[in-house]
Structure 1
Amino acid sequence: MVKIILAILIPPLAVFLHEGLGSRFWISLLLTLLFIIPGIVYALLVVTDTI
């Protein structure tokens, strides 16, 4: 539940807490810096183990 809230507020932090410092973290950081909505969607998908 906390990770889902973090995925909405701070997407890269939620992905980092779920996956660690890997490629998914960097993708999330890039998407968040370029466009906030895709970063949130990607973080939610990673945190909920959909992808």
Structure 2
Amino acid sequence: MSIYAILLAVRVCALIAGTSLLTYTTSPIVLTDAIEPAAPAGEAALSRGMSWP
């Protein structure tokens, strides 16, 4: 197994652990309030004709 495969697996595990810790320790309302400022950027992309998956 390549060293890059091991590093990728470690990064994915760290991403999952970090996300789990964030959602475990933060209420959904606070997470939603933190994400709201990014919403206009998504709306601008939709208004330029890009499709939403």
Structures share fold, TM-score greater than 0.5: no
Q: Which has the higher contact order (CA 8 A, sep 6+)?
A: 1
Alignment TM-score, normalising by the size of structure 2: 0.29
Rg (Cα) greater in structure = 2
Alignment TM-score, normalising by the size of structure 1: 0.29
